[in-house]
Amino acid sequence: MFKKTPLQDWEAVVQKQLKTENIYGILSKEDLEDIVIKPYYDAVAKPLNNLPKIEESTHLVGPYRESSEDNIFAFLLDENVEDLEEKVIFVNNKELAEHISPEETNRYFSLIDIFSEDKKGEIDQQLCKELLAKDFERNICVDVSLHQNAGASIVQQLSISLAKTKELTEIFGREILDKIIFKVAVGSNYFFEIAKIRALKLLFNQFSKEFELDQIPYVFAENTCRNKSKSDAENNLIRSTLELSATMIGGADAIFSNDYKIENSDSVSQEISFKQQIVLAYESIINVFEDAGNGSYYIEELTQQFAEKSWKLFVEMEEEGGYCELLKKGWIQEKISEHAIKEQNWVEEGKIKIIGVNLYPKLEKTKSVENLYSSNEIKAVRLAEMFE
């Protein structure tokens, strides 16, 4: 057994190397989430139980192409494809979802968002009923990928996930909880994003206990477009690889890699994007672990901080009328816009560094914050758009 080194000994070494006693002032790091980050962890106050996932191993989802039918097990479908057998199919098109006839040998999941996401603040209840009537394993998608791509904070994303779920239970009862699939977008703050997926599991389980259930969520994750740029496709590829790694370690049930090329996408770039998942899964084998972050003091601490802050914001949202009502008031749009603008300002100031965008760039602004963001709508905005 290794002898445990006391914290005071580590502090003494760091003080000597930094030539100062104020090591925590120097090593402290500001972040947009107001999360407390310590430079050193030797314990966690409340160790978490293992946070399981539903699938035994994370599904590696690719866009459907006939040429890949024999090699890919899980597909994202936008149009009907007949004679598929023994596949996992994620339906991503409203018209297709309405007309598809599930085959017994396949497994089906809906990624159709039934929330309007605008000031109408509506839920398409008719579409929801039609989807629930389908022989899908998971019929209703709670989509917060748009919110992440629009610049929402992690705490906002998690609280919105719960708020949208609460709206659904008020209409369709607690039975809908095992029909929900969460769709999230994963950014580049590696450990934060691992903790985000784990916090979602913790929060959903806590929410289900309000209905005397003990459920875990089904999580479909994709890489974000927010930190990608038109002119640096290779850098996009590296960022996507890290994001996909975070989703697997966080315990997502299925992952999808968007094309790393913002412009001039083709079959080759799509295949490379998908094969990022293959390399991670078969070279690192990180897609088979149930909760790879469990036992990491840092990740455990982040998970609990995100869960606590998100639950608090969720309760505040419910007290103000819930998700749909706050959409109608414009509150959701305004809060996301405020955080997105702060994040954009950090990029402009260099506090957030994106290689090729604000680090070693040809830095000429082409758009202002006012051009990019609106407090009246939730829309995806890439941080690099300011300089493109």
Residue-by-residue DSSP string for 220-273: EEEE-STT--SS-HHHHHHHHHHHHHHHHHHT-SEEE---S-SSS--HHHHHHH
pLDDT at 1 over 70: no
Q: So what's the pLDDT on residue 140?
A: 97
Interatomic CA distance for residues 60 and 246, integer angstroms: 14
* Alpha-carbon torsion angle 196, 200, 203, 205, nearest 10: -140
Q: Is 61 helix (H, G, I), strand (E, B) or coil?
A: strand
Q: So what's the pLDDT on residue 40?
A: 81
pLDDT at 327 over 90: yes
Instruction: Provide mean pLDDT across the span 268-294.
Output: 91
Structure tokens at 318: 């419910």
- The DSSP call for residue 160 is H
Interatomic CA distance for residues 199 and 158, integer angstroms: 8
Q: So what's the pLDDT on residue 349?
A: 87
Instruction: Provide mean pLDDT across the span 337-348.
Output: 95
Q: So what's the pLDDT on residue 356?
A: 59
pLDDT at 363 over 70: no
Tell me the average pLDDT of the chain.
92
pLDDT at 155 over 60: yes
pLDDT at 362 over 80: no
Instruction: Provide mean pLDDT across the span 215-244.
Output: 94
Q: Which letter, b or e, does each residue of 214-223 get, where b requires 16 or more Cβ atoms within 10 Å of its Cβ? A: ebbbbbbbbb
Q: So what's the pLDDT on residue 350?
A: 84
Nearest to 136 by CA among 114, 112, 160: 112
Q: How confident is the model at residue 359 (pLDDT cuts 50, 70, 90)?
A: low
pLDDT at 388 over 90: no
The amino acid that residue 371 corresponds to is N
Q: So what's the pLDDT on residue 244?
A: 96
Interatomic CA distance for residues 348 and 236, integer angstroms: 19
pLDDT at 39 over 60: yes
pLDDT at 361 over 80: no
By residue count, the chain amounts to 388
Q: How confident is the model at residue 147 (pLDDT cuts 50, 70, 90)?
A: very high
Of 115 and 360, the one with more pLDDT: 115
Interatomic CA distance for residues 345 and 341, integer angstroms: 6
pTM of the model: 0.94
SS (H, E, C) 10-56: HHHHHHHHHCCCCHHHHHCCCCCCCCCCCCCCCCCCCCCCCCCCCCC
* Residues linked to residue 183 through DSSP beta bridges, in sequence order: 143, 220
